[in-house]
Amino acid sequence: MPTFDFICQSCQNAFELFVRSRDTAACPACGSVELEKQVSMPRLKTSGTSALAMQAARRRDKVQGTERMVEQAKYEASHDD
């Protein structure tokens, strides 16, 4: 299913949408079907982009894990069970 970028002519909302050939696209903000399809870059997945995505995911997971540990420590310190 292809992804397209649109700009709504009614509310000027810019959004990305998966559209099948038989479906009519509509603005998620106002519901208008008066849309302008934008030229979008193809998304390529190579070993280089895949490796960069994995590095970003690991960094994100590390930060989230640290945040969870800090919140757990705060919770445990404030609850003497």
**pLDDT score at 27:** 92
Residue 32 has pLDDT above 90, yes or no: yes
pLDDT at 81 over 70: no
Instruction: Output the pLDDT for position 53.
Output: 85
Which of 67 and 44 is assigned the larger pLDDT? 67
Q: Determine the pLDDT at residue 68.
A: 92
Q: How far apart are CA 51 and CA 60, in angstroms?
A: 14
Largest CA distance in the chain: 60
Which residue type, as a one-letter code, is found at position 8? C
Mean pLDDT along residues 32-57: 83
**pLDDT above 90: percentage of residues in the chain:** 52
